[in-house]
Amino acid sequence: MAHFTPLRLALYQPDIAANTGTILRLAACFSVGVDVIEPCGFVWSEPKLRRAGMDYLDRVDLARHDSWERFRAAPRPGRLVLLSTRAAVRLPDFRFAPDDTLLLGRESAGVPDDVRDAADAGVRIPMAAGERSLNVALAASLVLGEALRQLDAWPGDAT
Stretch 11-32: mean pLDDT: 92
pLDDT at 13 (0 to 100): 97
pLDDT, tens only, 72-91:
999 988 999 999 999 999 99
Cα gap 33→27, rounded to integer Å:
6
Number of residues that this document lists for the chain: 159
pLDDT at 159 (0 to 100): 46
pTM for this one? Answer: 0.91
pLDDT at 102 (0 to 100): 98
Inter-residue contact 111 to 12 (CB < 8 Å): yes
Cβ atoms within 10 Å, residue 35? 19
Q: Which residue, among 118, 51, 124, has the nearest Cα to 85 in the 3D structure?
A: 124
Which domains are delineated in the chain? 5-151 (3.40.1280.10)
Residue 155: is its pLDDT beyond 80?
yes
